[in-house]
Structure 1
Amino acid sequence: MNEEQIKALNLLKTAKGQVAGVVTMLEEDRYCVDVSTQILAVQGLLKKANLLILEQHMNHCVKEAFESGSGDEKVKEIMKLLETYTK
């Protein structure tokens, strides 16, 4: 596992804990704005983790694909993902 993957894994574990906390907040009928604030925090962690995974992909998989002459397919994958991400 490389550095980007380790950082992403830690962010995802943190997000997992926060989601469990949000579930508890709902079960305890906590204030809606507080629950929403925590959901936004989880979304932020997921976005950061996703960017780290994509960075790892670009630095390793895409780079290797270009070095072997098959980079065009990786560019198509990234473009499809970015299209989904920007919707």
Structure 2
Amino acid sequence: MNEEKKKAMQNLKTAKGQIEGIIKMIEDGRYCIDISNQIIAAQGLLKRANMQILKQHLNHCVKEAFLHNSGEEKVDEIMKVLEKFAGK
């Protein structure tokens, strides 16, 4: 597993722990703003993990595809992901 995937895994594991904590906060009737702040923090970790996975994809999968003259398909895949980020 390369460095970007390791970082993504760590962020996902941290986010998992935060989500479990958020569920407990809701069950315990904690203050809504505190819960919301924890949800925002978990979203940040998920976004960071996604960016690390995409970076790994660009550095390895897309690079290899261009070296073997099949990069256009990979560009289309990336564009679809970017459209999701943009909310289209």
TM over 0.5: yes
Q: TM-score, normalised by structure 1?
A: 0.99
Tell me what 1:40 maps to.
40
Partner SS for 2:14: helix
- Between the aligned residues of both structures, percent identity stands at 62
Partner SS for 2:72: helix
Tell me what 1:86 maps to.
86
Q: Which ranges of 4 or more aligned residues in structure 1 deviate by more than 4 Å?
A: none
Q: In the TM superposition, what is the alpha-carbon distance from 1:85 to its structure 2 partner?
A: 1.0
Tell me what 2:72 maps to.
72
Which residues of 2 match residues 14-29 of structure 1 at below 5 A?
14-29=14-29
Q: In the TM superposition, what is the alpha-carbon distance from 1:79 to its structure 2 partner?
A: 0.4
Partners of 2:80 and 2:39 lie apart in 1 by 27
Q: Which letter does structure 1 place at the counterpart of 2:38?
A: Q
Partners of 1:80 and 1:27 lie apart in 2 by 37
Tell me what 1:49 maps to.
49
Q: TM-score, normalised by structure 2?
A: 0.98
Partners of 2:7 and 2:81 lie apart in 1 by 21
Partners of 1:47 and 1:80 lie apart in 2 by 16
Partners of 2:18 and 2:39 lie apart in 1 by 8
Runs of 5+ consecutive residues of structure 1 not aligned to the other structure:
none
Q: In the TM superposition, what is the alpha-carbon distance from 1:45 to its structure 2 partner?
A: 0.2
CA RMSD, Structure 1 to Structure 2 (Å): 0.3
